[in-house]
Structure 1
Amino acid sequence: MKPAILGGTPIRNKLLPYAKQYVDDEDCFAVNEVLKSNFLTTGPKVKEFEEIIANYVSAKYAVSFSNGTAALHGACYAAGIKSGDEVITTPITFAASANCALYMGGTPVFADIDEETFNIDVNEIAMKITDKTKAIVPVDYTGQAVDIDAIKDLVKGTDIIVIEDGAHSLGTKYKGTRVGSLSDMTMFSFHPVKTITTGEGGIITTNNEEYYTKLINFRSHNITRDINQLENKNSGEWYYEQLDIGFNYRMTDFQAALGLSQMKKLNKFIARRKEIVNRYNEAFKELDGVILQKNAYFSDTVNHLYVLKLDLPKLKVDRKEIYNALIGENIGVHVHYIPVYWHPYYQRLGYKKGLCPKAEELYNTLLTVPLFPAMSDEDVEDVINGFNKIINYYRR
């Protein structure tokens, strides 16, 4: 069949986005109740949301933030990252995974990926560790857990801190245990396209009380009223002190109310995402011209993203033309991610292309496929039919 961009009939009449939030009347009611209450900014709903997330991932503590980037900034602060320190991460991620080191004066160091799972390669991390390495920020790309035990084995006996970027992986299990309690700190994001949403929002989970205290203070200007932390302990109830530089990174109570309502639907969201992924895997494993992301044995993955790698030697065109053709069919594909160090800002810092060849090769062949719980079975079949139509048309 002729692609729509060449005059054919599109698979769909309306664009199917690659992702979309699911918000229902229950969510709206929860937010509305807070809007009519005495608390709009950080209040009881924030504390309740933190507790439900901590309990869900079996962590002792959870500290919410205004967004996932702010949460990573807080984690780097709690880890004590400073000028001269190196922080190892993957280039196949959103820029925040590396920017968080820069915020503290540290230096991002990029380790290449595994060619099959697309997650950061533990052997590549090992080669990048130096006496300047202060932290590792492994990313659970698409929702698949990194091999956290192998990473922890690498840093055993050192002061290197593991800050897991779990922006994609709420609900994912690593060797039977939910992501969120296995690393020194773990960040989850609640952006609208993530597994649950608070509009914007993020959280750090940890079992370390020292990190917890630092995170609590950092998100609120590093100002405290806690008498145990005050230098002047003889003032009145009104008294507070700023202990260090901090930021206003607090979550609001109405965001937390939305998050609490969304958590009630989390199991349903997870089940639907898995249904869609299973259908995609079944369909696309037979499509000559695409390569599936391998799921490691240790990861019971809840996919935030579903990605396909184009087998370009089998196709007559490059990724851009396949992308445009699928958009023409009203299949809202996307690309996640441009290697971080390819961005102009990082290039000005001195990073050069060619640093992580496996990641760069993946980027040039990668497409993100629509995946969100509100997709109907018909939507899923449209995506499959759209890929079959375009890949078959452009196959050599």
Structure 2
Amino acid sequence: MRDTYLPYGKQMLDDADIEAVVNVLKGDYLTTGPMIKQFEERMAKYVGAQYAVAFTNGTAALHGACFAAGIGEDDEVITSPITFAASANCVLYQGGIVVFADIDQQTYNIDPTEIEKKITSKTKAIIPVHFTGQPVQLDAIHRLAKEHNLVVIEDAAHALGATYQGEKIGALSDMTMFSFHPVKHITTGEGGIITTNSKEYYEKLMQFRSHGITRNSNLLTENHGPWYYDMQFLGYNYRMTDIQAALGCSQLDKLGSFVKRRKEIVAAYNEAFSDLLEVQTPYQHIDTDSSWHLYILKLNLDTLSVSRKEVFEELHKMNIGVNVHYIPVHTLSYYQELGYKRGSLPKSEQMYEEIISLPLFPLMQEQDIQDVIDTVKYVIKKVKK
């Protein structure tokens, strides 16, 4: 057993990151300043988008995207139940109705054929989630969106650095959200961003994150002078700070190495677990190159004498910080109170009962990786029927 606890995810910071933050602290701007613009421009360039708008966190960014898309009272938006609650909550913030579509049992991503079944005359948008970092089948989703005049907002919180058919995630749909929580590919502490090729969405997002206020002379109906601004709708204070943006810029310098390291860890896991009949390693679709935010190991419970809970607890006792991603959103208490039913999304609900997430982050050393492998194998052998 390990002497120290190994978490499932953790940020990786170095002296350059610290220096970047300290330089801002010594400068003139702490909140909305030049580093935010620099971070936005670098993110847009990295993914190949025309625009990027930074937010306080990924949830705020999704809220902004729903506003920019015009989602309002009783508009339906289709998303996956296998995600963090924010992917659905952002629709509720706008008065919309969340419609969940079941997953593909191989990729664990939302299934386009299930999306098609849920489209009605009230459907306004689709929020596909690139679960674990593996992109969804965007071609099929884009065909549906075009046919039904729907907005596509990609939840790419897991997918910075991932590609679909050779193109980076971030400029392929109407809007794309990335998250910079410490367990993600790069971190700004908390933070999120929307990338887009639409000037209209860009301008709405910029105004939405700052109380609905604008100083843009092209948008003002009157102008009293250089100091004048106008609040044209009810927005929010969702602005990122220069401190966060400076950290983000420094982290972006290392993104390539971070993704590379994640792939190396995944390769070691896949090799180690490929011949274990008691578990199933992740499936990788031919069209996608995952950036591997999460490594999901599926337990073949028919071959084990215990439940997933007991496997989970046994690994934690041995200092391996496995997790479960995610509890299907429609089964959470608040969504149950809204009328969503257990049993309505059987593939998602079955998947939830069978999965654990193994530690995966660039700071992991070779011994950490081997500890995970050895401990998983030990526990599986111990609980095998």
TM-score bucket of the superposed structures, by smaller chain: over 0.9
CA distance in 2, matches of 1:59, 1:52: 10
Structure 1 equivalent of residue 374 of structure 2: 385
**In the alignment, which of 26, 47, 60 is matched to residue 16 of structure 2?**
26
CA distance in 1, matches of 2:102, 2:336: 17
**In the alignment, which of 33, 51, 63 is matched to residue 53 of structure 2?**
63
User: What SS class does the counterpart of residue 98 from structure 1 fall into?
Assistant: helix
Q: Give yes or no for the alignment of 1:251 onto 2:240.
A: yes
- Residue by residue over 1:180-199, the C-alpha shift from the partner in whole angstroms, topping out at 9 and shown as x without a partner, is 00011000000000000000
CA distance in 2, matches of 1:356, 1:293: 21
CA distance in 1, matches of 2:149, 2:277: 47
Per-residue deviation at 1:178? 0.3
**In the alignment, which of 113, 116, 119 is matched to residue 126 of structure 1?**
116
Per-residue deviation at 1:158? 2.9
CA distance in 2, matches of 1:130, 1:230: 37
Q: Give yes or no for the alignment of 1:225 onto 2:226.
A: no
**In the alignment, which of 177, 190, 194 is matched to residue 204 of structure 1?**
194
Structure 1 consecutive aligned stretches of length 4 or more whose deviation exceeds 3 Å = none
Amino acid of the structure 2 residue aligned with 1:263: L
Structure 2 equivalent of residue 354 of structure 1: 343
Structure 1 equivalent of residue 305 of structure 2: 316
CA distance in 2, matches of 1:341, 1:117: 20
- The runs of 5 or more residues in structure 2 that have no matched partner are none
Structure 1 equivalent of residue 332 of structure 2: 343
1:326-341 matches, cutoff 5 A: 326-341=315-330
- The runs of 5 or more residues in structure 1 that have no matched partner are 1-10
1:175-194 matches, cutoff 5 A: 175-194=165-184
Q: Give yes or no for the alignment of 1:303 onto 2:323.
A: no
Amino acid of the structure 2 residue aligned with 1:326: L
Structure 1 equivalent of residue 39 of structure 2: 49
CA distance in 2, matches of 1:14, 1:177: 40
CA distance in 1, matches of 2:220, 2:148: 32
Identity of aligned residues (%): 58
CA distance in 2, matches of 1:261, 1:225: 30
CA distance in 1, matches of 2:248, 2:287: 28
Per-residue deviation at 1:286? 1.2
Contact persistence 1:69–1:202 (CA under 8 A): yes
User: What SS class does the counterpart of residue 148 from structure 2 fall into?
Assistant: coil
Structure 2 equivalent of residue 395 of structure 1: 384
User: What SS class does the counterpart of residue 92 from structure 1 fall into?
Assistant: coil
Per-residue deviation at 1:317? 0.4
The two structures have a TM-score, normalised by structure 1, of 0.96
Per-residue deviation at 1:84? 1.2
CA distance in 2, matches of 1:394, 1:319: 11
Q: How many residues align?
A: 385
User: What SS class does the counterpart of residue 88 from structure 1 fall into?
Assistant: strand
CA distance in 1, matches of 2:139, 2:196: 16
Amino acid of the structure 2 residue aligned with 1:83: E
CA distance in 2, matches of 1:87, 1:309: 29
Structure 1 equivalent of residue 151 of structure 2: 161
Per-residue deviation at 1:202? 0.2
- Residue by residue over 1:279-338, the C-alpha shift from the partner in whole angstroms, topping out at 9 and shown as x without a partner, is 111111111211122111111111011111110000000000000000011111000000
The two structures have a TM-score, normalised by structure 2, of 0.99
Structure 2 equivalent of residue 5 of structure 1: none
CA distance in 2, matches of 1:300, 1:190: 20
CA distance in 2, matches of 1:57, 1:140: 15
CA distance in 2, matches of 1:21, 1:287: 30
Q: Give yes or no for the alignment of 1:108 onto 2:109.
A: no
CA distance in 1, matches of 2:10, 2:38: 26
Amino acid of the structure 1 residue aligned with 2:158: H
User: What SS class does the counterpart of residue 109 from structure 2 fall into?
Assistant: coil
